[in-house]
Structure 1
Amino acid sequence: MRRLWPLTVRGTGALVLAIGCFVLANEIGLGELVYFGTLMLAVLAASIASLYLTRRSDTVSRSLTPNAAAVGRDARVTVRVGVRTALPTAPGTWKDALPRALDGSAEGVFPALGSGLRGSERVVDLSYSVTGMSRGIHPIGPLAVRSTDPFGLATRRSVFGERTRVTVAPAVVDLPAVNNLAGEAGGMLHTTTSQLGQGADNLIARPYMPGDSMRRIHWRATAHRDALMVRQEEQESTPEATVVLDRGVLRWSGEAMQAPGADPGFELAVSAAASVITRLAHDGYAIEVIDSDGAELAERIDGGDMTEVELVVTGFAKLTARRDDHLAQLPRVFSGVMTGPVVVITGRFDETDATALAPIVHHSTLPVLLATSPSAGSLDRASDLGWRVGRIGEEADIASAWAGAVDRGTANVFR
């Protein structure tokens, strides 16, 4: 609420004292009280004028470290305020307006400034920490600075309207690696061999180049030429994985369509998708991120490219549910294709859905199904059909569900 009264408690007391002097001077006929009351009013007027009649221009810019906040993690906000004032100013206080999606103490002491009539704009750097509470893109600001005159009689609250939009990405949970399932899941970076002719003697060798895998060294050619040689026909390929985030609104509440952060179940699913993408990319998989109808939610991520992973996770800040429901048609996306891990993340899930998704199991080396609101018996049914399943919710965190699904391959249902 905007404060209209320009005086502090001390200034209000001085005004009451001045009025009292005028009243007493009239009652008891003591002229000196009139001079004293007039002096008090003059001091009050000068105090207010020092705050309101000096022209000052202010610019505000903000930066975030890291560039995007994340749910449950801290980030540092730096506020740079450019000030030009005609008269020196006393110290004051500042407060930056934070949305409910960010938690932190965005306030402090605003330093005193000297006169800037002959100098350039003075720059004041302020900083504070925030913690992401809700995914989305949220505005920080405006910045309010409250200053007082040197006598502490008057106060002024200046509001600088510049706002900064801050991205809050979903939480990324550290998940166990799938290294122990390397053979079954397509492995880490592996090689496939294409040979011309019969036998190793017919392979064409070329000189070793930096970056070539040591597994491609042709030892016989190396011994013959006394220099490292590699098999030219051997081609390294990166195992592929697919992460499916089902955004159909029938799987979630209606709030999931309105804005990020509105549906707790959908937030868990987005966090699970971001965590799985991070884990698989770290393990060397090239990842396709799609919706339940096969539409891409992000560009393909190369194995080990954590910079691209960070960009994709940040882009998830804007994801919401959509009106259509295509989960039953998901097997068509994998028709005629053999791939590595396929991780499906959904909300409401029943035995009919488990039956509809059964064909995907035969096209994946590691089919994983994570659901936030499965019906009774639906995950058992999916497990019987070959899925590695897990339930994520208030009593089952993402890391436990993932570990139970990947390590044991059996139903990981928490009740």
Structure 2
Amino acid sequence: MLTARAWTLLGVGIALTGSGILLGYTDITRLGLLLLLLLGVTAVFARRASGDLRITRTVQPISIGRGQRATVTVIATNPAARRTGVSRVREQVDSRLGESQEFVLPAIGAHDAERLQYVVQGTVRGAHRLGPASRVIEDPFGLTRRRRTDERVDELIVLPTVTPLGPAQPPGAGIGSEGEIPQMVALHGDEDVSIRAYHQGDDLRKVHWKTTAHRGELMVRQEDRPSRRSALVLLDGRSNGHRGPSGQDSFEWAVSCAASVVVRLAELHYSVHLATAETLADASVDAPGEPGEQLRRLATATTCDSETFRRLRLRAREAVRAGAIVVAILTDVEDRVDDIAAMRQPGASGLAFILDTGTFVDPGAAPSAGAQLLRAALAGAGWRVCVVRSTTSVLEAWQEVSRRSLIRVGAL
């Protein structure tokens, strides 16, 4: 498109050409035509010099923790056989990562490339957009301006804050397991359950001679197959239950707690199920996941309504029927406490963090009646419970529910 200078030049050229023709002044007419010719030639050459650049973007690393930085590299490649002109590049950046970036991109030779770099800092949990990149090309006279936008958009994940929870671990492993359950060697009868035929390469020291003599073929003892203890982390994301200023509200504390517990349970070799509104939507509550993937899910976790949380509780109860331990991060809203209490299976432990959400608005607020009632109900059902105020750290809360002194009748 033409710039303001070009429109002015076009107007002057037309005026001079018209005046020269009307008044019969040949020199004025020639000057007007020269200005118009200059404008046309500049427009043609500016179009040819703009070129088509291919913009790609790499982010290192692709996910960061809150407060950490990532390096973004923008690579502009010229696939054409002619040189491009100088241009200005504006890289759109999510405002939560920082300001949009502007660069002067030098002329790029045929089949050559130019690299531009900038750094962003993650201050807010979530998935943040990087791009698109727009390029503005002007001719040396400032008469034409051409804008091109590369629609490619990349994403940077800012993970929730993960607090190291130290050596403390949840008491009671529970009876739940993921995958194969170990089979023990039978001592009285039913030898076929744990004894199988010999396969080439089996250790001869494991030959079961009694069964071999009885069957007339070589039999070996079946090795125990590995199993993993299982756990479920339930995140109460009800929007009517969380309070506090943005970024420091009770929901952010809950997400950070869930992330820290997921990492700690993975360190203890638990097979971890994550129950949030997002995992309910894609039915992944039933399947354990890797810590990295679950942290990325928590990075994009959002609040939900009460009906979604009700369906999440039902799905979570199905996932722990085998006896997995349950870690629940709850608000102080009293809503079907019996549903949550019943999630802890006999022989398995239940750990609950109850958020006193009023303290996230006013740190000096009196203890919430709802939090105390919920604490009493869950403790009576054999849960280990910690009421969390805004000043309570995730580490302090974890150490509280891990203390042996919290053992009650029916609890582990």
TM-score with structure 2 setting the length: 0.63
How much does 1:97 deviate?
0.6
Question: Equivalent residue for 1:176?
Answer: 165
Structure-2 separation of matches of 1:233 and 1:65: 44
Match 1:242 to one of 220, 229, 232: 232
Instruction: After superposition, give the CA deviation of every residue in 1:44-90 in whole Å (9 maximum; x if it has no partner).
Output: 88766653453521232323333445554433333232335786556
Question: Equivalent residue for 1:194?
Answer: 184
Question: Equivalent residue for 1:313?
Answer: 295
Q: Judging changes above 3 Å, is the alpha-carbon distance between structure 1 residues 75 and 188 closer, same or farther for their aligned structure 2 residues?
A: farther
User: SS at 1:310's partner residue?
Assistant: helix
Equivalent residue pairs, number: 359
Instruction: Verify the 8 A CA contact 1:56 1:83 in the aligned structure 2.
Output: yes
Question: Equivalent residue for 1:62?
Answer: 57
Q: Judging changes above 3 Å, is the alpha-carbon distance between structure 1 residues 39 and 300 closer, same or farther for their aligned structure 2 residues?
A: same
Specify the code of the residue in structure 2 equivalent to 1:312. Q
Instruction: Verify the 8 A CA contact 1:68 1:169 in the aligned structure 2.
Output: yes
Question: Equivalent residue for 1:257?
Answer: none
Question: Equivalent residue for 1:298?
Answer: 284
Specify the code of the residue in structure 2 equivalent to 1:381. A
Specify the code of the residue in structure 2 equivalent to 1:129. V
Instruction: After superposition, give the CA deviation of every residue in 1:306-348 in whole Å (9 maximum; x if it has no partner).
Output: xx32223324426552450428965992799462431112334
Match 2:327 to one of 343, 357, 365: 343
Question: Equivalent residue for 1:226?
Answer: none
Instruction: Verify the 8 A CA contact 1:245 1:273 in the aligned structure 2.
Output: yes
Structure-1 separation of matches of 2:159 and 2:119: 18
Question: Equivalent residue for 2:397?
Answer: 401
Where structure 2 has 5 or more consecutive residues not aligned to the other structure, the ranges are 17-26, 210-219, 358-367, 408-412
Structure-1 separation of matches of 2:130 and 2:320: 49
CA RMSD of the aligned region, Å? 5.4
Structure-1 separation of matches of 2:4 and 2:237: 53
How much does 1:271 deviate?
3.7
TM-score with structure 1 setting the length: 0.63
Question: Equivalent residue for 1:381?
Answer: 376
Instruction: Verify the 8 A CA contact 1:244 1:345 in the aligned structure 2.
Output: yes
User: SS at 1:143's partner residue?
Assistant: strand
Instruction: After superposition, give the CA deviation of every residue in 1:5-62 in whole Å (9 maximum; x if it has no partner).
Output: 466xxx99x98xx99xx9xxxxxxxxx9x99999999988876665345352123232
Question: Equivalent residue for 1:130?
Answer: 120
Instruction: Verify the 8 A CA contact 1:194 1:235 in the aligned structure 2.
Output: no
Structure-2 separation of matches of 1:55 and 1:338: 65
Structure-1 separation of matches of 2:30 and 2:390: 72
How much does 1:106 deviate?
3.0
Match 2:241 to one of 248, 251, 257: 251
User: SS at 1:389's partner residue?
Assistant: strand
How much does 1:184 deviate?
2.6
Q: Judging changes above 3 Å, is the alpha-carbon distance between structure 1 residues 335 and 122 closer, same or farther for their aligned structure 2 residues?
A: closer
How much does 1:277 deviate?
1.9
Instruction: Summarize the alignment of residues 360-379 of structure 1 with structure 2, pairs less than 5 Å apart.
Output: 360-361=343-344, 363=346, 365-374=348-357, 375-376=368-369, 377-378=372-373
Instruction: Summarize the alignment of residues 131-150 of structure 1 with structure 2, pairs less than 5 Å apart.
Output: 131-147=121-137, 149=139
Match 1:274 to one of 255, 259, 262: 259
> In percent, how many aligned pairs have the same letter?
24
Specify the code of the residue in structure 2 equivalent to 1:140. L
Instruction: Verify the 8 A CA contact 2:50 2:146 in the aligned structure 1.
Output: no
| Higher share in strand | 1
Where structure 1 has 5 or more consecutive residues not aligned to the other structure, the ranges are 23-31, 222-229, 254-260
